[in-house]
Structure 1
Amino acid sequence: MAQRLIVIGGNAAGMSAASQARRRCGRDELEIIAFERGHFTSYSSCGIPYWVSGLVDGPEKLVARDPETFRRRFEVDVRMRHEVVGIDLDRREVIARDLVGGGEVRERFDDLMYATGALPIRPAWAETNVHGVFGMQTLDDGAALIDWLEGEPRPRRAVVVGGGYIGVELAEAMLQRGLTVTLVEKADQPMSTVDEDMAELVVDAMRELGVHVRTGIGVTGIEERDGRVSAVVTEEGPIPADVVVLGLGVRPDTGLAEAAGIPLGPSGAIRVDRRMRVPGLPGVWAAGDCVECLHRISGMPVHVPLGTHANKQGRVAGTNIGGGYATFMGIIGTAVTKVCDLEVGRTGLRERDASAAGFEFVSVVAESTNRAGYYPGTRPMTVKLIAERPSGRLLGAQIVGWSEAAKRIDTLAAALWNGMTVDDMTALDLGYAPPYAPVWDPVLIAARKAVDVLHHPSR
């Protein structure tokens, strides 16, 4: 009898694992069944804001591989609209509910791939039957929001609650659709993935673009009229709204795992080893937004939900399930986003992360431009570096700027991954041409400034 792999979750991590395991094992060796509760497999959650804005078509354009491709090409028994509701580790079975036809099915497994992803954080006030309040994680969520925006009466005022990646990207999407947009953030700054001084640059640019940014106030409820949202209630009074989008981040979807006795780590996500195995549970694997990762710089377990990690982790798990050997080497937290034309990139540790990890460090901020000063279209760029004292080892970096800004973070991520010092970085042989960079690239300018501060602390 062939070994059987059950996959819970049909997006990046789960289907990467399934396809990679199939590449190593024929159907006679390995039977694969994948359960997905939604309507789509292997899709780009990160593309949803750009579908909502109308910049890209969807949902089909956001799907990398549909269920039929997995069935035909990879011989995976994909069961759509089936929600796994129970895992019996003793009997090595999963229980799944058919959301369309009704009833439940039980399937045995030899290997279990847990890849349920993450869920949008919904505060108590958002758990309501009032229409017009949306979380944003799946293509189904995106479709529901678009239907609302295109329905009658047409919404004119949007309130985005939360200023993380999804919040600022959806604020842009609402602007692109011509709505008046207010972004409400309980903390003193949106974009908490960067330090406060860099976040201020983002806030200034968002306000110039027309977003009303309200920070330091919490949302306590919503008001409704005829069953539709009419306002968001805050600590400083109501804000009129015809549509409310939650951008409060996500949490790992671990309810099923906890009920089955699958252990969680200190971050609240599932604990796995470098091969994506759940320790102490032979044949149980996990990957994607539901697991925690090792941060290579701090050495701490963290939950950083990104599609890049999910795809890599799924591939590692699938390789190992299929009899090969692969490891996931951890993360450094590299990410980019944009608000209209403003670009934001970050990698490694923020100042507060470096302090929490026990590092002594210096931080510098360097102002430069994206192109040679005389070249048309030159725009400002701000680069921040955080370096260990006294070694000069790079600990983290952030960039805020316009065209050609965000992807420069990749240079800094590569330096960080490989343990370079800021002294090393000043000698990097980076590309130069007036349309793309000044003769001293902003990365090099920031590295030189960090070296100067390390060697001459009084400056």
Structure 2
Amino acid sequence: MSMSRTERLVVIGGDAAGMSAASQARRMRGPDELEIVAFERGHFSSYSACGIPYWVGGDVPERDRLIARSPAEHRERAIDLRMRTEVTEIDVAGGRVRSLDLETGAEEWTSYDKLVIATGARPIRPDLPGVDAPGVHGVQTLDDGQALLDTLATTEGRRAVVVGAGYIGVEMAEALINRGYEVTVVNRGKEPMSTLDPDMGRLVHTAMENLGITMVNDAEITKLLTGDAGRVRAVATEDAEYPADVVVLGIGVRPETTLARAAGLPLGEHGGLLTDLAMRVRGHENIWAGGDCVEVLDLISGRERHIALGTHANKHGQVIGSNVGGGYATFPGVVGTAVSKVCDLEIARTGLREKDAHRAGLRFEAVTIESTSRAGYYPDADLMTVKMLAERRTGRLLGVQIVGGEGAAKRVDIAAVALTAGMTVEQMTSLDLGYAPPFSPVWDPILVAARKAVTAVRRSAP
């Protein structure tokens, strides 16, 4: 009787999606059935990139708190994780990858039966003079976070400029304020947090200014000016210069698909890999992809989106690992839920913004309400603003944005479930949500918004 050959799984990327896939595949198949080789070009594996701003700001005291599983722990589970090793080429026809050991310079080819691409995303670095000068930092990896902390520890000046006012920009601005820096945020949008509608972004703007952050909106950076020894000394727009001892780029990220593009694998309009529901790369039986390098289906608009979030990356990895390991799982898509905070102000969104709904050709009503996190008479009741979009005629929920004090952000999960279930705002008004004065008013803010949306939808009916 012939022995079955051991298959080899190769994983490119040692963070959330890649190592979740490797770990799940290992749970399902032992080392005698499936050999697993993983490549990671950085110094760290399985870490929380989302936690970097809180580490930089001092809320998380040490780097290792952000590491879920070390390379040694992966190796103990029979996963051959090769750190500081960068995959430089994927040979799809030959079923192999070329890797470069960044410490020794040694190159080698490794064959695979099954391949997982989990190359993540890279920070957008605008092609501007001075953008690569010392003192200019992105914050995508633990290596990036460590480099920024090293700069903060050795820089005498206390002036910081953050470029961009999305999640990373806003969180890094707060982190630098916590470290005693004078912070200016330069933002090309009308208001911070372009993932919100501008009327809700305005609430974030006010909160940031109340923290002592200088907000410069509607401003495009033209160059970064350097001084002594080539270090950054200022950020320039067309109208002004903003002195800077350190600059943090928080403009966002793009899928890191350089390898995939060179290998001829299918990419979407945002530059991310395209997969089927099983997270298999379209048209390729033995290649899977997940995490920040892929595009995902938006369940509300029906379009592909690029969303770089650890929650999705870990789910992708679980799905891929199950399928690689001989089981079956799917990732149906997302509704676009995200939360953040600036000091005590919580920020949340799910579903479509007004401009998303317009782009998708949907006709809708938008309503905004103000309420409190608890019963008004209960101590420490915080104000919150809820904005809700509902489709005309059908009343289907399309999106929710919430900005407010403690208890605001996680309320968005109610809306995320309602969106996933395809509920109407009228159905939402009957939701049996938990109530007691320490937790919410008699009518939860989400339900108050839903009632107002029902009225707006009825009024718009022909």
TM-score, normalised by the number of residues in structure 1: 0.98
Q: 1:203 to 1:248 in 2, by over 3 A?
A: same
For the residue of structure 1 that corresponds to 2:293, the secondary structure is coil
The aligned residue for residue 165 of structure 2 is 163
Shift of 1:430: 1.1
Q: How does 1:146-161 map to 2 (within 5 A)?
A: 146-151=149-154, 153-161=155-163
The aligned residue for residue 9 of structure 1 is 13
Q: 1:144 to 1:126 in 2, by over 3 A?
A: farther
Residues in 1 aligned to 2:11 and 2:256: alpha-carbon distance in whole angstroms: 15
Q: How does 1:87-102 map to 2 (within 5 A)?
A: 87-102=90-105
For the residue of structure 2 that corresponds to 1:146, the secondary structure is helix
The aligned residue for residue 190 of structure 1 is 192
Aligned residues: CA RMSD: 1.1
Q: Does 1:38 align with 2:79?
A: no
Shift of 1:128: 4.3
The aligned residue for residue 173 of structure 1 is 175
Q: Does 1:449 align with 2:444?
A: no
Shift of 1:453: 1.0
Aligned counterpart in structure 1 of residue 25 of structure 2, from 21, 25, 32: 21
Aligned counterpart in structure 1 of residue 143 of structure 2, from 127, 130, 140: 140
Question: What one-letter code is carried by the residue in structure 2 that aligns with 1:26?
Answer: G
Shift of 1:436: 1.6
Residues in 2 aligned to 1:336 and 1:61: alpha-carbon distance in whole angstroms: 21
Residues in 2 aligned to 1:13 and 1:236: alpha-carbon distance in whole angstroms: 43
Shift of 1:456: 2.4
- Contact map agreement 1:126 1:133 (CA 8 A) in 2: no
Residues in 2 aligned to 1:306 and 1:430: alpha-carbon distance in whole angstroms: 27
Shift of 1:457: 3.6
Q: 1:353 to 1:434 in 2, by over 3 A?
A: same
For the residue of structure 2 that corresponds to 1:125, the secondary structure is coil
Structure 1 residues 1-34: Cα deviation after superposition (integer angstroms, max 9, x where no partner): 3100000000000001000111111111100000
For the residue of structure 2 that corresponds to 1:124, the secondary structure is coil
Residues in 2 aligned to 1:285 and 1:218: alpha-carbon distance in whole angstroms: 38
Question: What one-letter code is carried by the residue in structure 1 that aligns with 2:63?
Answer: P
The aligned residue for residue 400 of structure 2 is 397
Equivalent pairs counted in the alignment come to 456
Residues in 2 aligned to 1:111 and 1:127: alpha-carbon distance in whole angstroms: 42
The aligned residue for residue 275 of structure 2 is 272
The aligned residue for residue 231 of structure 1 is 234
Q: 1:265 to 1:130 in 2, by over 3 A?
A: closer
Question: What one-letter code is carried by the residue in structure 2 that aligns with 1:201?
Answer: L
- Contact map agreement 1:7 1:115 (CA 8 A) in 2: yes
Shift of 1:103: 1.1
Residues in 2 aligned to 1:111 and 1:348: alpha-carbon distance in whole angstroms: 34
Aligned counterpart in structure 2 of residue 428 of structure 1, from 417, 426, 431: 431
Question: What one-letter code is carried by the residue in structure 1 that aligns with 2:156?
Answer: R
Q: Does 1:358 align with 2:348?
A: no
Question: What one-letter code is carried by the residue in structure 2 that aligns with 1:195?
Answer: D
The aligned residue for residue 345 of structure 1 is 348
For the residue of structure 1 that corresponds to 2:387, the secondary structure is strand
Residues in 1 aligned to 2:307 and 2:63: alpha-carbon distance in whole angstroms: 25
Residues in 1 aligned to 2:15 and 2:273: alpha-carbon distance in whole angstroms: 17
Aligned identity (percent) is: 58
Q: 1:418 to 1:91 in 2, by over 3 A?
A: same
Structure 1 residues 108-140: Cα deviation after superposition (integer angstroms, max 9, x where no partner): 000010000000000012664521000110000
Structure 1 residues 170-221: Cα deviation after superposition (integer angstroms, max 9, x where no partner): 0000110111110000121220101011001110111111110000111111
Residues in 1 aligned to 2:305 and 2:88: alpha-carbon distance in whole angstroms: 27
Structure 1 residues 51-110: Cα deviation after superposition (integer angstroms, max 9, x where no partner): 0001102311000011111110x2100000000001111111100100012211110000
- Contact map agreement 2:130 2:224 (CA 8 A) in 1: no
For the residue of structure 1 that corresponds to 2:184, the secondary structure is strand
Q: 1:96 to 1:416 in 2, by over 3 A?
A: same
Residues in 1 aligned to 2:101 and 2:420: alpha-carbon distance in whole angstroms: 44
The aligned residue for residue 320 of structure 2 is 317
Aligned counterpart in structure 2 of residue 328 of structure 1, from 331, 347, 366: 331
Residues in 2 aligned to 1:343 and 1:126: alpha-carbon distance in whole angstroms: 36
Q: Comparing 39-48 with 128-137, which one deviates more in the overlay?
A: 128-137
Question: What one-letter code is carried by the residue in structure 2 that aligns with 1:295?
Answer: D
- Contact map agreement 1:149 1:155 (CA 8 A) in 2: no
Residues in 2 aligned to 1:154 and 1:338: alpha-carbon distance in whole angstroms: 28
Q: 1:191 to 1:182 in 2, by over 3 A?
A: same
The aligned residue for residue 413 of structure 2 is 410
- Contact map agreement 1:296 1:331 (CA 8 A) in 2: yes
The aligned residue for residue 214 of structure 2 is 212
Residues in 2 aligned to 1:438 and 1:129: alpha-carbon distance in whole angstroms: 51
Question: What one-letter code is carried by the residue in structure 1 that aligns with 2:148?
Answer: L
Residues in 2 aligned to 1:159 and 1:415: alpha-carbon distance in whole angstroms: 39
Residues in 2 aligned to 1:320 and 1:253: alpha-carbon distance in whole angstroms: 23
Structure 2 residues without counterparts, runs of 5 or longer: none
